[in-house]
Amino acid sequence: MKLVNWKSYYRDEQLFDYNLKDYKDDNIEIKLFNTNDENMKGDHQINYLNKYLGELPMMYYIWKNNLKSEYIKISQYRRDITYINYRELDKNKIQLICWWDENNNIKLKDRILQYRDPSGYIKETLWTFIKKHFSLSDKQLENMQNKTSYRCMAVFVWAMNWDVYCKLCEFIFGFLDVLFPNESWKNVDTIFNFRNNQKELYYKKYEKSNDWVFEDNRYLTFIIEDILSVILGQFFDIFGNNKYWDETYIITEVNKDIEVFNIIRFYKLNIKCNPFRIYVKCLDNESYEYLHYFFMDENNWEFNIINIIKSDELYDERAIKLDINEYIDLNDPLDLYQNKYNIKSICDYYCD
């Protein structure tokens, strides 16, 4: 098998809402992974930590159980990479869905965990671990910490070869083992108590009342994401340029009788083909004002690729035109460019 795409989800209804299915052909296998399934078979199952570590329990399960494939892609139920550049993966590079270059006056050491580590324990442990893990001299570590130009990333959606995947997991979970010795990071109470102690120190140190944004259980996930966002590019060769993703546009037309749930269904079923933008063209002012408020002002964080436009507004001419009750049915996002897809009725899908 050339590539295995491990796709995470955390609620059973997401299988239906997003048309998720296991799939296999000569080049790719899609394996769905419920990160909340605590009864999953096999050793090294830590799905009970999903609410604390996000997709990391899936990555840990694959790595520790040595579920090897030549290439591996980690994606999410509503985020994926369309085009995989195998030539670059063969050079031991990591392909990312989201990355950018930062050139500013902020040193790398100050860019990480700015207000998220009031005790300083995470930072101190991180630099000690990095120096030992990558066999750096004091000078090499100092030079890296003082960089003001570096490559950043976001979102755990990436592809790489198996050897690089193992090295990445060794870094992530090796750091957790040092941060919380004796694998105590697998203990919910350890994570919970550490977060609360950090919160208490934050308020004592900064004397602010409303700026602690890690009230939910994902505090440790935020920490790992923040570290990897900057550190990954220092020790791994990362790249992006997902050329097909930027070329996929969908447009549908609605009028004042439209219900929001119709657009949400349309969005969820069509997100599988990895559109860069979904245009919702309003044929009247009433629908425009109503939908613009709901999707742009109130829910943009969740539906950020939806663009509510007026009837006379321009949109990308490459957009695929669909009825509000239609969706693109495919297995892999790349199928759209290989003409291996069908346009089906949403009504039939929900009736079935």
DSSP code string of 56-80: HHHHHHHHHTT---SEEEEEETTB-
User: What is the domain partition of the chain in residue ranges?
Assistant: 3-239, 245-351
Q: Are 160 and 168 in contact (CB under 8 A)?
A: yes
Q: What is the mean pLDDT of the chain?
A: 92
Cα separation, 185 vs 174, whole angstroms: 11
Q: Which has the minimum average pLDDT: 77-81, 242-246, 265-269?
A: 242-246
Distance set, CA 106 to CA 147, 194, 195, 282 (Å): 8, 28, 26, 44
Give the three-class secondary structure for 329: strand
Q: Are 275 and 249 in contact (CB under 8 A)?
A: yes
Cα separation, 24 vs 332, whole angstroms: 10
**What phi and psi values does residue 160 have, to the nearest 5 degrees?**
-165, 170
What pLDDT, in 10s, does the model give residues 291-335?
988 887 777 778 889 999 999 999 999 999 999 999 999 999 999
148-164 average pLDDT score? 94
Confidence grade of residue 208 (pLDDT, cut at 50, 70, 90): low
The whole model's pTM is what? 0.93
What pLDDT, in 10s, does the model give residues 251-306?
999 999 999 999 999 999 999 999 999 999 999 999 999 898 888 777 777 888 99
Cα separation, 254 vs 285, whole angstroms: 11
Give the three-class secondary structure for 115: coil
How far, in whole angstroms, is CA 140 from its chain's centroid? 31
Q: SS3 letters for 121-188?
A: HHHHHHHHHHHHHCCCCHHHHHHHHCCCEEEEECCCCEEEEHHHHHHHHHHHHHHHHHHCCCCHHHCH
Confidence grade of residue 243 (pLDDT, cut at 50, 70, 90): confident
pLDDT of residue 288: 94
For residue 264, give every residue at least 6 positions away whose Cβ sits within 8 Å of its Cβ, in sequence order, or none: 303
pLDDT of residue 81: 95
Q: What is the DSSP letter of 82?
A: S
Question: Which ranges of the chain would DSSP assign to H, the alpha helix?
Answer: 13-17, 50-53, 56-64, 86-89, 108-111, 121-133, 138-145, 162-179, 188-206, 219-235, 260-270, 285-291, 346-351
Q: Are 73 and 123 in contact (CB under 8 A)?
A: no
Cα separation, 270 vs 282, whole angstroms: 19
pLDDT of residue 350: 82
Residue 214 buriedness (CB in 10 A; 0-12 / 13-18 / 19+): middle
